[in-house]
Amino acid sequence: MFDNLDFKTVTSVGRTGSNDLVSITHNDSGSKNELMFRLSKEVMDKAGFAYKDKVIIQFAQEDTICRIVKSEEQGSVTLSKQTQNSPVSASIIRLMFKYGLPNFLERESKKDGKEYKKVKYVHEDNMIQYKSDIGQLTFKLKLDEKNEITKENEEV
């Protein structure tokens, strides 16, 4: 389904409870601007991932398709347990925002003419693909929520 797309790698040296299979949250709290990738245990199993696996994260089609693939390459990041004592914990990857990463806050702000401090994407229904034999997950992003910055810098 996604094999003929041109992906660019965005990972380099690099906590939410949710029922989503996979999510990407871009949050700028003022003191910290980060992207958080969350993979449910179900997704990890289907994609052939384990906790502490090294992965790279790639995007295609103007950052609307995400691919996460096992890799020992320089710049790979580690799948960490979200809840340390749970055998069915989701895994998370936190990346401090830097040049080269998709700027989801800016993209949504340009669409609406508003300023957002948090946006969350999940996978679009039926647009997720697993390749457990090589440790790969590919999915299309769908906007799930966004929190606007108010004049008092509080969520609306």
What are the per-10-residue average pLDDT scores of the chain (156 residues)? 77 52 94 95 96 96 95 93 87 94 94 93 94 97 88 52
Which residue spans within the chain are E strands per DSSP?
8-9, 22-28, 33-39, 54-60, 65-70, 77-78, 80-81, 91-96, 116-131, 136-148
Where do the domains of the chain lie? 8-148
The answer to whether the beta carbons of residues 108 and 142 sit under 8 Å apart is: no
Residue 153 is given by DSSP the state S
